[in-house]
Structure 1
């Protein structure tokens, strides 16, 4: 190719998107843009307003289960299981500035609140050194402790705690040794 054709060819290549734009618009043309739909139009169409896709079914979310707030301690299912929270905690502040849980469960408040004191393990650092205050590793209670709800399990729970497994594996009393 000669040098005299190069500028013309470069100009043509630069203009190519502009030249092809009408063809692309025609090839990918859809129906003219509809007028803004009112909420009545969306309901009448049966399509979700957020996608406009056909065939999708929008389902109502089930109601949130209620918190169990009977303040009864629950049996633990395995050694070292953190205790579950037997009361509602909605609205509790639990961040770097405040820990609402400690207003009842801290050592100095358990006499008035009658709440169980947090475990002594919460006063140890990762090297086992005993601290005068709650370790920063244990400050955010909801990392391990969870509130309970009255939700029904979606699948059958066949979990058996270790005590029941041991008890059921022993022969009944009075049978051979």
Structure 2
């Protein structure tokens, strides 16, 4: 009976908001001292947006760091529409337009289905370019990283 009363009182305190975290003095707002990539910011507080990343212009081909890495995009893609009805990337990188635009042609693998059937146009599974390819930004890493390039890909 005592356990039932204690359980009911605990539930009642939680619903009325009387029960507080033991760290309330140290971490006001109830985030418990957990720091995310947002920093220690209350969840209901809007913080200023981060600055836009700088994308160097025409920096050329960026070397791969690991085998089968999708090539990085050496230019900004801001305002590029890639939707069900349009793909701005293909205006330069399709086989039809690449020579004239001077852009790299997309791989033949982008014209194949999962079963290996060759299509006359880009496969739907490879149509949304930024699922794999990202622009190279001049930005500091969000978290520490000691990644080393695959030995076979090193130029040194």
TM interval, shorter chain, is 0.5 to 0.7
Bigger fraction of residues in helix: 1
Question: CA–CA distance in 2 between the matches of 1:162 and 1:116?
Answer: 24
Q: How many residues align?
A: 113
Matched with 2:94 is 106
Match of 2:140 among 135, 152, 157: 152
Unpaired runs of 5+ residues, structure 1, are: 1-55, 167-177
Indicate how the Cα distance of structure 1 residues 164 and 107 shifts in structure 2: closer, same or farther if over 3 A, else same: closer
- Does residue 103 of structure 2 align to residue 115 of structure 1? yes
RMSD, aligned CA: 2.5
Q: How does 1:66-145 map to 2 (within 5 A)?
A: 66-145=54-133
| RCO higher in structure (CA 8 A, sep ≥6) | 2
TM normalised by structure 2 equals 0.64
Rg (Cα) greater in structure: 1
111-120 or 154-163: bigger deviation: 154-163
TM normalised by structure 1 equals 0.57
Give the C-alpha shift of residue 155 in structure 1. 3.5
